[in-house]
Structure 1
């Protein structure tokens, strides 16, 4: 049945792969972007699981770069569907956030009809995922940020580029203002979207790497 077999291997979805880019931290009061690094720590296509670290380099409220550990769900119609079913995300929330990606728009009707179960995701040029930050690695919860929400992610098989939007159910505007942008790694409770834009890098393949963290 379409979409129910394993997707073909992707060279950009391997343990150790690094991504670098920015997090748009814009709202009605300010317009800025933070530098963000991501590294994959684990990938299991069979179970639709991946995990990694996310590092924000220039967070104004933090004295050092803020690193979080996250776990991800790959939308494959085997293990996970387009409907989240947790983290206070309704089906309406899911459709609104997935629809921020141009590559999803052609799939929206099928998703709204049956959850997208009939879509052939195996051969689709993009992989849709959710990334949920689980804990802070190098700072405490008093760093001024929150990880209450999660990212809707669209990943390009061809070039490894990543686009993501963050949903925070605790944002007081999340229920009715979908056009504001959020803050990376948890927000300042003023806007429901964080726009994440990353590109795959060769960092780590030529002798360079992020700092090593031990996750417990």
Structure 2
């Protein structure tokens, strides 16, 4: 969530008052010249191909057969893709989740694992020296609003005992629910590109098991009509912190420029999160579980249950 920042055509349009008699004196735009040249070259190539086929009937037959073969391969691939998508997805339905509603509180920790930390982080290094310490702090999240029809969710996040910070920090966040109607796994903002989306979504075990299904670019014919089967068991979201509630940015030296990739188990309410911000410490993971039974109230303030 919160982490210390690492130091680390205009075209000048001509006057519209020129007379038609002077149009032939106006310089041709570069883009128009390029387009005309491309058209001329394309027509020349087509004429050459036609001439070669007329001179050599065997070449014409061979080209026709090759084009026909390529079209059949493409059509077969499209049919296989559609059959696979239909098998791996279900009809879009309401994504309501009893554990994701206003008033629900989730508590846990956020951890930062140093990049240089070896895989077996609990073991000492070979020279007997301890490995770099994994920083972590307590986190509590309260859901304030949920709108499944629009794929929107919002709430408050409370960071407790952040290293080198004596004060608890509370922020407000807005979220997007990945429902393949309003939002898809593709973020397209907050400095995240397709590769970042793939890398971060694949950190979650449900996506890791069926990455093609979740990360597949949906054809327009299926967009908004079908969704991956894993959405029956999990909810995927993006949480973006927007405002500091009880402190100012200058008081903490923290940033909220990044956002969380979120995976929530519909049955247990367990939440996993992966934080992304290219300007901060990587490998930040969020782990939360349900604290209450949704009996508390959530207000737009820094007060938590």
TM range (shorter): 0.7 to 0.9
Conserved 8 A contact 1:5-1:122 = no
SS class of match (1:119): strand
Alignment partner of 1:198 is 2:198: no
> Secondary structure of the residue that 2:198 maps to in structure 1?
helix
Q: What's the CA shift for 1:21?
A: 0.4
Does structure 2 retain, via aligned residues, the 8 Å contact 1:204–1:210?
Answer: no
Aligned match for 1:161, one of 262, 270, 277? 270
Paired position in structure 2 for 1:66 = 169
- Distance change in 2, residues 1:98/1:146 (3 Å): same
* Counterpart for residue 33 of structure 2: none
Deviation at 1:129, TM superposition (A): 0.5
Q: Distance in 1 between matches of 2:273 and 2:247?
A: 23
The alpha carbon displacement at 1:32 in A equals: 2.6
5+ residue gaps, structure 1, are: 171-188
Alignment match, 2:151: 48
Does the 8 A contact of 2:144 with 2:298 survive in 1? no
CA distance in 1, matches of 2:151, 2:300: 25
Q: 1:100 is matched with which residue?
A: 203
- Paired residue for 2:98? 11
Tell me the secondary structure at the aligned position of residue 255 of structure 2: coil
- Which of the two has higher C-alpha Rg? 2
SS at match of 1:114: coil
TM-score by length of 1: 0.80
Indicate yes or no: 2:214 matched with 1:126: no
The corresponding residue for 2:179 is 76
CA–CA distance in structure 1, aligned partners of residues 172 and 107 of structure 2: 16
- Aligned partners of 1:155 and 1:162 also within 8 Å: yes
On the 8 A contact 2:156/2:170 being kept in 1, the answer is yes
Which range moved further: 114-123 or 146-155? 114-123
CA contact (8 A) 2:135 2:163 kept: no
TM-score, normalization by structure 2:
0.58
Aligned partner (choices 247, 257, 260) of residue 151 of structure 1: 260
More strand by share: 1
CA apart distance, 1:210: 8.0
- Other-structure match for 1:31: 134
Aligned equivalents of 1:138 and 1:153: distance in 2?
24
- Higher mean Cα deviation, 191-200 or 15-24? 191-200
Bigger helix share: 2
Gaps of 5+ in 2: 1-88, 117-131
Per-residue CA deviation, residues 116-174 of structure 1 (Å, 9 max, x unaligned), is: 9553358520111100000111111121111111000000000111000000022xxxx
C-alpha distance in 2 between matches for 1:115 and 1:141:
40
**Where does residue 137 of structure 1 map in the other structure?**
245
Aligned-partner SS, 1:213 = coil
